Amino acid sequence: MDVTKQTKLSKAEWESVEIPVSEDEKRILELIIEGYTNVNIKHNNNRSLFTCIKIEKSEIIETFFYTKFFRPQVAEIAKLPVSKAIADFDKSIKDVNMKKLKTADTIRIENVSSNVDPNIIEFVFLRFLKEMLTLFYVKKTSYYAFYLYTLIQLRNISVKNINKHVLDFVDICITTVNAETVLSNIIRNAYEFIEKNKNIFQYGDIPCMTTRNGCSTFFATRTRTPMCGRT
């Protein structure tokens, strides 16, 4: 081959020899670059309702989202034989009149109402809460601690604009159940609750730890927040 006569590769030729970077790989590469100067940077692939609908956050819209999308799940949980604090949580949140919303926001909300992703982080939290409270109050099995630990670890993940009312409900449920938790009764399941907890890795943050020479290691992990129960 006469290299002196070689021409540049065409676009089609480049595409045939190079595999495009996937979205997951692209996010990791961006995290490596940003993590070079900020070793505390974190990333989370999960989304909140606000990030799904892509609407400007305000107190009115946040409350409207709760009443329209999350109140039914909270009401189902309240039907369980739970504590008064959990059962009465929803009573303090008043409905929002849609007339107070901008026309463009109303149209955008109506367009997605019938097709909301069931895996947005608020719905995930509410599913975990229902499992935890059912196991704790109804089935009375120590496996509720699996969901208690999961919720404690995921409570402060770096997903943007998680609905504050859902987070408040999460906090009340965690506090109530945690106060009645006897750690000695669940230590025997610690390996399954902690080390084999797939939910932590699926929904938790991906942090970046960068060494001085710029080499970065990425791994899904959990924030090691101790479960504060009774001993």
Please tell me which residue, 169 or 21, carries the higher pLDDT value.
169
Distance CA 223, CA 82 (A): 28
What pLDDT does 121 receive? 97
Distance CA 93, CA 58 (A): 15
Question: Is there a contact between 222 and 193 (Cβ–Cβ < 8 Å)?
Answer: no
What pLDDT does 37 receive? 74
Pairing of strands 216-218, 206-210: antiparallel
In tens, the pLDDT along 186-205 reads 778 888 888 889 999 899 98
> pTM of the entire structure?
0.76
In tens, the pLDDT along 77-133 reads 999 999 999 999 999 898 877 776 777 777 777 777 777 888 999 999 999 999 999
Residue 219 has pLDDT above 50, yes or no: no
Distance CA 93, CA 147 (A): 26
Distance CA 89, CA 78 (A): 9
